[in-house]
Chain A
Amino acid sequence: MPRSTYLSTLIVVFITIMGAFLMTGYSFAADTHSGQALDESGKAGSHASNSAAHAIISTGKVTSAASAIPLSIGGSVGAVSSEIANELMDAATAPAGTPLEISDESVSVGSPPDEALKTSTETKVDTAKKSKSETKSN
């Protein structure tokens, strides 16, 4: 067999395998920050993360969370009692198995950094406008 034909065949076989393999997408279950298993690549997963998180945040129905501490005290477990709000102390000291209070509010870690960067300028402008109007009213 001529060398060039042999090489061509190899290339076609390789391209065929790779092409079909890429068409399969990602067949393994993966767990990205997106909450969406990767479909094609890490980048695709990233995109899913941004779009899903952004869509939820843009509803205005979730509150951004700054931090969380386990609400359980006893021995060395959980938060230091001084960090727990008085109204949540009952829940903190309740034994496991006792029905717990839960807020009706939904919280989120907030927009992904790239989305937040897109909106940071607008936020600054809004804040500046607000300050100006507040100053005027005062």
Chain B
Amino acid sequence: MAHFKITGKIRATTYNITTALRLSIMLLCLTVSLIYSDAVIAGSSQGGGAIQFKPEEIIKFAKKVEKRLAEKGAKVAIIARVGRPRNKLPEGMSFTHTAIAVYSQITTADNRKIPGYAIYNLYQKDDKPELSDLVVDYPVDFFAGVYLLEAGVIIPSPELQKRILTTLTSGIYKSLHNPKYSVIANPFTLDFQNCTEHTLDVIFASIYNTSDINVIKANEKAYFKPQPVKINPLKLALGSMFIADVTTSDHPESPVTATFTTIGHFLTKYDAASQDNNHST
């Protein structure tokens, strides 16, 4: 029988039931962890921070999306991107970031004025991922690090576009921002917010012509159907413990969150003129 006493050196080689139990626990932990790691190791190695496409491809794709929006006459659109391999995303989630594209007069650094789309984003801070900022950028920036050259696009009805513009150009857009970030923020609570929840809040503020967050949340709860977060509870618990921008503290029940797709379902149901298209190369 072999007995392992792990204190830096193997001191004996006897084996007993206690050791077997300990080894079993370790193997179980390893197995559980590896089960969940399996799908993601490939993603980390392939997309670990490097640009996924040639810059020219990204520039071309971003312009294609812009032109498509312009052809449709969209002054405001809800837009989404895919920042991870699809098969690495939790079930029911197809996009990793949602924002609002606005047809704009862009003043270039050399003071020329050109028409294009500016994108209103809520982004995590690079150095503090549990916090976020509101950032305006442009399609090329938006798609710079995507994993797939694919965009989710929803064009609201003209009336809703007009109302969203009013919200964006008033102080309401900024007042709806909660800098405390959770990647799986509960859209029905005020504790944390992610990009999609902020977009949802802007949409509801625009629909109800209000800046009152309690009115917004009450109506979201009544009419918006969120996406259940289908992640193994053990992994979620570990994520909540060890990852700054993941928390389950705002989820009294099974976690749910807002996604581009669920916003699409909501607008399809309540804003009949909305168009929901995916654009890819």
Contact = CB atoms under 8 A, between A and B. Distances in A.
B36 A24 contact: yes
Nearest to A62: B140
Contact of B135 (A8, A26, A33, A56): A33
B49 A47 contact: yes
Contacts of A102: 66-67, 70, 115-117
A96 B75 contact: yes
A40 B48 contact: yes
Interface hub of B30, B103, B109 (most chain A Cβ within 10 A): B103
Given A42-B124, A59-B55, A101 B140 contact: no
Given A35-B145, A66-B108, A61 B169 contact: no
Given A63-B108, A85-B105, A23 B41 contact: yes
B5 A8 contact: yes
Contacts, number: 322
Interface residues of A, number: 89
Interface string A57-76: 01101111111111110111
B51 to A, nearest CB: 4
Interface stretch (B209-217, B241-249, B264-272): B241-249
A11 B33 CA distance: 16
Given A45-B129, A100-B115, A102-B67, A27 B73 contact: no
B107 interface: yes
Given A1-B18, A8-B6, A72-B75, A108 B141 contact: yes
A68 B144 contact: no
A134 interface: no
Interface in B43-84: 43-44, 47-51, 55-56, 58-59, 62-63, 66-67, 69-75, 81, 83-84
Interface hub of A74, A88, A109 (most chain B Cβ within 10 A): A109
A83 to B, nearest CB: 8
Contact of B70 (A8, A24, A26, A100): A100
A9 interface: yes
A101 B109 CA distance: 21
Contacts of B70: 99-102
A36 B114 contact: no
Contact of A42 (B83, B109, B127, B194): B127
B123 A33 contact: yes
Contacts of B75: 70-72, 96, 100
Contacts of A84: 105, 113
Contacts of A53: 141, 144
A31 B83 contact: yes
Given A66-B107, A96-B161, A9 B22 contact: yes
A92 to B, nearest CB: 8
A53 B50 CA distance: 10
Given A18-B242, A21-B238, A40-B48, 13 more contacts: A5-B6, A9-B6, A16-B26, A20-B34, A23-B37, A28-B90, A28-B231, A33-B133, A36-B146, A99-B73, A103-B106, A105-B114, A107-B138
10 cross-chain pairs, A with B, having the tightest CB-CB distances, nearest first: A20-B33, A36-B145, A25-B44, A31-B97, A96-B158, A46-B126, A68-B118, A35-B145, A37-B83, A24-B37
Interface of B: 5-7, 18, 22, 25-26, 29-30, 33-34, 36-37, 39-41, 43-44, 47-51, 55-56, 58-59, 62-63, 66-67, 69-75, 81, 83-84, 88-90, 93, 95-98, 102-111, 113-118, 121-129, 133, 135-147, 158, 161-162, 165-166, 168-169, 183-184, 194-195, 231, 235, 238-239, 242-246
